[in-house]
Amino acid sequence: MSESAIEIINLTKRFDDITALDNLSLEIGWGELFGILGPNGAGKSTAINVLNTLLEPTDGSATVDGHDVVFDPDNVRKVIGVCPQKPAFYPHLTGEENITLMGEMHLVPKDVLRERVKTMVEKIGMEDHIKRRAKDYSGGMIRKVSMLMALISDPKIALLDEPTVAMDPKSRHAVWDFIRELKTQGKAIILTTHYMEEAQELCDRVAIIDEGRLIELGSPTELMEKHQAKNLEEVFLKLTGKKLREEF
């Protein structure tokens, strides 16, 4: 196990003339729940997609569990679990089959997989619905299944890209509990969100980014004290002069 779970050094990603990430540097430790906050288009998903090897950086470097995302992507994929912003799933498969499929893709042994699916489904409160086809699920159920698909391989590092967006409060709290438990297992978790309440509730540290640039880094409490703000939303407003989110 490497010293840092994730190390990002001067990471830049450009799409033609748009700079999605601008010289971003971060270090995330084991057992840390790290939030990347920012409004839509800030570069949160781009950062996640570089870390999960889907995008190559234009400049700079990033390592995941010591493996370079560009030069050693195969080993990066072995240690990560990715919950994408858009919950990709197979509608003709049941929730259980979708989760199992991802476990198989991560080469989890069958008997381990079966037991793990059962345990995780119970924890997230999906046991009554897990054998129904995913096409019949509500948005919240799909998000939960998508989350389990990301975590079924028991990854050392979880990359959760807005996992609770558009979820009802009850489901969101169920997911929060689930994420908290992951943290106790010593995993490194990166969570992107534009829900400040979520970040304050869950994250050990947060990085606030805007237009691809890191504008503040610290624990929610530190940041609120430093900027004499009541919440992270206010912190962001003071830093950028604009609101972090449009809906809550």
Partner 1 sequence: MKKDLKKTHREPAVLFLLLVFPVVLTFVFGLAFGGIGGGGTTSFDVGLLNLDATSPQADWSDAFTDNLTSSGVFVVQDFDDNVTGQEALLQGNLDAFIVIPEGFGDSVVSYYGAPFNSSAWTNTTMGLYVDSGSLMAVSAVPPLVQQVLMKTIFGSEAMSIGLPIEIGSPALVASSTFTQWDFMAPGIFAFAAIFLTMIVAQSMTYERDEGLLKRLRTTPVSSADYMISQTLTYMIIAVIQVALVLASSFAIGYRPAVGPAGIAFTFVIAVAFSLVAVGFGLIAAAISKSAEVSTGVSFMFIMPQMFFGTFMPLGGPSSTIARFMPSKYITDALTTLYLRGAPITTPVIWYNLAIVSVVGILLVALGIYLFERYGYR
Distance of alpha carbon 184 from alpha carbon 29, whole angstroms: 13
User: Among 35, 84, 95, 212, which residue interacts with partner 1 (rule: CB under 8 A)?
Assistant: 84
Nearest-approach distance from CB 234 to partner 1, in angstroms: 34
Asked if 220 touches partner 1 (CB under 8 A), the answer is: no
Nearest-approach distance from CB 28 to partner 1, in angstroms: 18
Asked if 132 touches partner 1 (CB under 8 A), the answer is: no
By three-state DSSP, how is residue 78 classified? helix
User: Among 3, 17, 74, 128, which residue interacts with partner 1 (rule: CB under 8 A)?
Assistant: 74
Residue pair 191/179 in contact by the 8 Å Cβ criterion: yes
Asked if 92 touches partner 1 (CB under 8 A), the answer is: yes
Asked if 54 touches partner 1 (CB under 8 A), the answer is: yes
Specify the residue, 4 or 49, whose C-beta has the smaller distance to partner 1.
49
User: Among 33, 37, 62, 80, which residue interacts with partner 1 (rule: CB under 8 A)?
Assistant: 80
H or E stretch covering 157: strand 157-161
H or E stretch covering 96: helix 95-105
Asked if 90 touches partner 1 (CB under 8 A), the answer is: yes
Count residues contacting partner 1 (CB under 8 A)? Answer: 24
| Tokens at 27, concatenated | 């270090």
Nearest-approach distance from CB 132 to partner 1, in angstroms: 12
Return all residues near 245 (Cβ < 8 A) that are at least 6 apart.
39, 194, 195, 196, 233
Specify the residue, 101 or 229, whose C-beta has the smaller distance to partner 1.
101
Encode 57-95: b = buried (16+ Cβ within 10 Å), e = exposed.
beebebbbbbbebeebbebbbbbbbbbbbebebeeebbb
User: Among 14, 114, 123, 133, which residue interacts with partner 1 (rule: CB under 8 A)?
Assistant: 133
Quick one: CA torsion of 26, 188, 137, 107, rounded to 10 degrees? 110
Asked if 114 touches partner 1 (CB under 8 A), the answer is: no
Q: Where on the chain is the footprint of partner 1 (CB under 8 A)? A: 52-54, 74, 77-78, 80, 82, 84, 86, 88-90, 92-93, 97, 101-102, 105-107, 133, 149, 153
